[in-house]
Amino acid sequence: MTTSAPEQKLQYTPSIQQLLETVSLYLHIPFCHTRCYYCDFNTYAGILPLREPYVRALVSEIALAGGQAQHADGSLRRARTIFFGGGTPSLLTVAQVGRLLNACRAAFALDEDAEITLEANPGTLTLEQLVGLRAAGINRLSLGSQSFDEQLLKEMGRIHTPEEITQALRSARAAGFTSVNLDFMFGLPGQSMRQWQETLAQAMALRPEHLSLYSLIIEEGTPFFDWTQEGRITPGDEDLCADMYEYADQLLQAAGYVNYEISNWALPGHESRHNLTYWRNLPYIGMGAGSHSFFAGKRFSNERDPQRYIHTLKRRQLPVVESETIEKVQEMSETAFLALRTAQGLHLPTFEERFAAPFASFVGDRLRMVKEAGLLEYAVGWLRLSKRGRLLGNEVFRRLLPE
Ligand code: SF4
């Protein structure tokens, strides 16, 4: 959906204090038909019968969290975005998604034009379901597509075919979705530049409003990790990955997409407001098994196991298992480092208003070397990574960590 003019104003002008009074909501849905071979998310196959008790527990958590987030005068906390992530949220029924949305509307003051995204697996969607989701209030769809190469999809353990991606997008359009993201991965074992180019060409032909392109990271505990150790698969090498990224960036920018964050491209006005919450280090409340939150000066996370999560909520208790107070200097570091991942970079006046301190005194001499090495550039009021800096971002980020 289009970012409204008032929202732009809130995001880009010094209205940071207003934004800090709002939240974004994340709802974790930990169900999948099967586990993809590269996935280390907190998600499970074979527990579909838990869907209904899980939704009941999540409705309880939303009510409890909304109560805790209320202002001192008892008014509801304003929520700007909702994101159903997973897992595979499209495995919920339309009625279950509707109950979760109603719970959010009852516990938070949801903006009328709130961005409400649902992640979906193209192999699990029907037109009827998409029409129902749109009517329930979902206004942005994110399709985990990963590749248009049938063989690569099989080798990743995906349950859908390339045709199902195209079909899902066409059905989404027919159901009235005007804001759709497609996720793809590069640097896959055995993936050639030619396969990547063909995937991007097919994606471009569908003209989604948003694309997320992630380089594969092989995480411990996944089949891909074991197979790499055993020498059965070889991940794409670094140079090839860099070439794939460069190719994608040039192709997408020529097609009118803005690379507004390292891994994300959008047609103007279709940047994900929910994801911008994370990159601007603004408050969010994550609900559901294993979800994370940043709210009221604390980072906290929930019980990961869905069964234990459900049992905790049956006792009307919040399922928080870890909590950390974020000191001001840490919040300053995180705010700078997350903003530098975005194309716009860090808006220095907003930073200084937020923390009531000059950026120069926070950063001291720590960025001098990376500035001299050409990794950073200044525009009026903004600090951002240069083209070279985007390839060597970690050199900059580690210098922003608290001393
Ligand atoms: S569908 Fe997504 S969340 Fe589920 S196993 Fe595959 S990658 Fe992980």
Residue 202 has pLDDT above 90, yes or no: yes
- pLDDT category of residue 131 using cuts at 50, 70 and 90: very high
Answer yes or no: do 349 and 266 share one domain.
no
pLDDT at 152: 97
Alpha carbon distance 188, 337 (integer Å): 28
Cα 312 to averaged position of ligand 1 atoms, centre (Å): 25
Closest-lying ligand 1 atom to the alpha carbon of residue 32: 4
Per-residue pLDDT, 8:
39
Spatial separation of the C-alpha atoms in residues 34 and 222, rounded to whole Å: 13
pLDDT in tens, 139-162: 999 999 999 999 999 999 999 999
Instruction: Let me know: does 335 contact 326? Beta carbons within 8 Å.
Output: no
Count: domains in the chain = 2
Which atom of ligand 1 lies at the shortest distance from residue 39's CA?
8
3-state secondary structure of 291: coil
CATH number of the CATH domain containing 68: 3.80.30.20
Q: What is the predicted pLDDT for the residue at 403? A: 66
Give the position, in ligand 1's atom list, of the atom nearest the Cα of 146.
7
Percent of the chain with pLDDT over 90: 89
Q: By alpha-carbon position, which residue is closest to atom 2 of ligand 1? A: 87
Q: Are residues 16 and 159 in the same domain?
A: yes
Same domain, 24 and 138: yes
Instruction: Indicate if the pLDDT at residue 6 is higher than 70.
Output: no
Q: How far is the CA of 386 from the centre of ligand 1 (A)?
A: 34
Its pTM stands at 0.94
- Residue 332 reports pLDDT greater than 70: yes
Is residue 201 located within the same domain as residue 89?
yes
What pLDDT shows up at residue 151? Answer: 96
User: Ligand 1 centre and the CA of 85: distance in Å?
Assistant: 10
Mutation probe of ligand 1 site: the residue of 34, 35, 38 with most atoms within 8 A of C-beta: 35
Mean pLDDT (whole number) for 217-235: 95
Last residue of a domain, one of 240, 264, 279: 279
398 vs 31: CA distance, rounded Å: 35
How far away, in angstroms, is 223 Cα from ligand 1 center?
13
Report the pLDDT value the prediction gives residue 236, as an integer from 0 to 100. Answer: 87
Which residue has the least CA distance to atom 3 on ligand 1? 87
* Segment 175-201 mean pLDDT: 97
Ligand 1, pocket residues at CB < 6 Å: 32, 35-36, 39, 41, 43, 86-88, 121, 144
The pLDDT value recorded for residue 380 is: 87
Mutate which of 29, 40, 41 for ligand 1? The one with the most ligand atoms within 8 Å of its CB, which is: 41
Give the residue-averaged pLDDT of 19-28: 97
User: Which of 257, 279, 301 is the C-terminal boundary of a domain?
Assistant: 279
Does residue 114 share a domain with residue 233? Answer: yes
Q: Give a yes or no: residue 316 inside a domain.
A: no
Q: Is residue 94 part of a domain?
A: yes
Q: How far is the CA of 88 from the centre of ligand 1 (A)?
A: 7
**pLDDT at res. 5:** 36
| Rounded Cα gap, residues 51 and 380, in angstroms | 51
What is the per-residue pLDDT across 280-324, written as a single tens digit (0 to 9) for each? 999 999 999 999 999 999 999 999 999 999 999 999 999 999 999
Residue 115 lies in a domain: yes
Looking at the structure, tell me whether residues 263 and 348 fall in a common domain: no
Instruction: Show the domain range for 109.
Output: 5-279
Distance 39 CA to ligand 1 centre (A): 6
Name every residue whose Cβ is closer than 8 Å to that of residue 295 and which is 6 or more positions away in sequence.
Answer: 23, 69, 283, 284, 285
Average pLDDT, the chain: 93
SS3 395: helix
Q: How confident is the model at residue 221 (pLDDT cuts 50, 70, 90)?
A: very high
> To 10 degrees, what angle do helices 193-206 and 238-254 make?
20
User: Is residue 164 pLDDT above 80, yes or no?
Assistant: yes
Q: Which of 240, 262, 279 is the last residue of a domain?
A: 279
- Three-state secondary structure along 183-201? EEEECCCCCCHHHHHHHHH
Whose CA is closest to atom 6 on ligand 1?
36
Quick one: what percent of the chain has pLDDT higher than 70? 96
pLDDT at 9 over 70: no
Distances (CA, A) of 98 to 17, 353, 354: 32, 39, 36
User: DSSP code of 342?
Assistant: B
Can you tell me the distance from the alpha carbon of 87 to that of 39, in angstroms, rounded to the nearest whole number? 10
Same domain, 242 and 367: no
Which of 32, 92, 125 gets mutated to test ligand 1 (max ligand atoms within 8 A of its CB)? 32
